[in-house]
Amino acid sequence: MTPVKCYPSKPEKVYFFGTCLIDLFYPEAGLDGIRLLEREGIEVVFPEDQTCCGQPAYTSGYQQEARAVAAAQLELFPEPWPIVVPSGSCGGMMRTHYPQLFAGSEREAQAKGVADRVFELTEFLVHVCHLRLEDRGEPEKVAMHTSCGARREMGLADTGPALLAQLGQVELVEQARAAECCGFGGTFAVRHPEVSAAMVEDKTQAIEATGARRFVTSDCGCMMNISGRFAHQKKPVKGEHIASYLWRRTS
């Protein structure tokens, strides 16, 4: 597994950026991510004024609005601690697009400083914490879905599977066309619902074909989309954020 950046030694403190979907729909995933970090002896600081990373506006072409939202987030991380994000999509926005969004402005240096400290949760657990897990769960077959943001913007196709591979009672099965998008894409699913529905149909068929009755992912948008499609199909396949899955099986 090749790191995508220069990783620091394990810090005493980190910031935790929870994301909108975790805040509104999956708070337990955020809490479990924090629990994993705290179990490693790290103090987790959660800035209470955090909101959206600005990605919905940015990917819809509203750069001015995205800049206003992102600017508010830049003020939340004054200390030089790592910023851990339980989402490759939001992490990709902050690490990759913040410097572009503020290029040539008075906030350019601040944006780059924040971007350089952003780590997706599984990336941080693997490359910074060097996490070692002891599986306490029952034997189970699971599939892993890695979001486009994690895979393509952050280069993190391997960190989730690396953590799952440590669970001795878990069989990680490979789905066909694992690198394909689930069709969510934030506002893409709203603007192109027919295309999005066809993409998630392909994704659910690929996951079901593995024989797994559970899939895990590090992005709640993907989890909401894929789980929703399985529920619509009345199929017994459940989704779980990888933070909750790791915590549940190792606590």
Q: Which amino acid is at 5?
A: K
In the CATH scheme, what architecture does the domain 140-250 have? 3-Layer(aba) Sandwich (3.40)
Give the global pTM: 0.95
- The pLDDT score that the predictor gives to residue 5 is 74
Residue matched to tokens 């909108």: 20
How confident is the model at residue 1, as a pLDDT? 43
Per-residue pLDDT of the chain (251 residues; tens, 9 = 90+): 444 578 999 999 999 999 999 999 999 999 999 999 999 999 999 999 999 999 999 999 999 999 999 999 999 999 999 999 999 999 999 999 999 999 999 999 999 999 999 999 999 999 999 999 999 999 999 999 999 999 999 999 999 999 999 999 999 999 999 999 999 988 888 889 999 999 999 999 999 999 999 999 999 999 999 999 999 999 999 999 999 999 999 99
What's the one-letter identity of residue 39?
R
Distance CA 4, CA 118 (A): 12
Instruction: Give 69-119 as a DSSP string.
Output: HHHHHHTT--SS--EEES-HHHHHIIIIIHHHHTTTSTTHHHHHHHHTTEE
CB proximity list for 140: less than 8 A, separation 6 or greater: 169, 170, 171, 214
Evaluate whether 13-127 and 140-250 have a shared fold. yes
The rounded distance, in Å, linking the Cα atoms of 163 and 161 is: 5
Decide which of 3.30.1490, 3.30.70, 3.40.50, 1.10.3470 is the CATH code for 13-127: 3.40.50
Going by the DSSP 8-state scheme, the letter that residue 203 receives in this structure is H
* 171 Cβ contact list (under 8 Å, min separation 6): 139, 140, 141, 142
Q: Identify the helix (H) or strand (E) that includes residue 127.
A: helix 121-127
Residue extents of the structural domains in the chain: 13-127, 140-250
At residue 2, the pLDDT reads 42
- Identify the pLDDT of residue 187: 83
Residue 63: the pLDDT is: 95
